[in-house]
Amino acid sequence: MTNRHTNVTAQARFGAEECSLKEVLERVGDKWSILVVAALAREPYRFRALQRAIEGISQRMLTLTLQRLERDGLITRTVLDMRPPRVEYALTPTGQSLTVPLRSLADWAEEHRGALAESRALWDSKRSGTAS
C-alpha cells in the first residue's frame, strides 16, 4: 500500500473512496433516483403527485425507483388508509443528508450547463467542418 504518486493536491484525493463511490453510484446513481430524491427534498409527495412532479417518469419506473430507495433506507413509505387510498413518500434522515451533495451537483449543473452546450456545439461544428 505505498502510494504511487505523492503529488496529491487539495482538490484531488479520490482514491480508496473510488470503489465505494462506484458502489453507491450503482444504487442511487441513476437519473430517476436522483430526481425523486430531489423532488422529495422539497416536500413529501403521494404517488401520483410525484409522478406528475417528475415529468417524464413512467409509472413503472416510479414504482421501481421508490422501492429501491425505500430498500436503501433513503425514503419512507406511509400508507394512510382511507378511501381512496393514499401513500406518502418522504425522505429519511439519510435521504435528507443526500440532498446536500446533490445540491452542489445541481449548482454545478446550473452553473456549467451553458459551457457544456457551448463546447459541444463547437466540437460538433469542427466535426462537420472536417474537410477544407
Partner DNA sequence: CAGCATCCCGGAGGATACTG
Partner DNA sequence: CAGTATCCTCCGGGATGCTG
Q: Is 63 in the site for DNA (CB under 7 A)?
A: yes
CA torsion 44→51→63→90, rounded to 10°?
-10
CA-to-CA distance for 27 and 84, rounded, in angstroms? 32
Binders of a second copy among 44-103, rule CB under 8 A?
Answer: 70-74, 94, 96-103
Is residue 79 left, alpha or beta, with left meaning phi > 0 and alpha meaning psi from -120 to 50? beta
60: enclosing H helix or E strand: helix 59-71
Site string for a second copy, 11-50 (x = CB under 8 A): xxxxx-xx-xxxxxxxx-xxx--xx--xx-xxx-------
By CB under 7 A, name the one of 57, 69, 74, 98 that touches DNA. Answer: 57
Using CB under 7 A, which residues numbered 33 to 52 contact DNA? 46-49
> Residue 74 carries which DSSP code?
S
Which residues would be at the binding site for a second copy (CB under 8 A)?
A: 5, 7-8, 11-15, 17-18, 20-27, 29-31, 34-35, 38-39, 41-43, 70-74, 94, 96-110, 112-113, 115-116, 118-120, 122-124
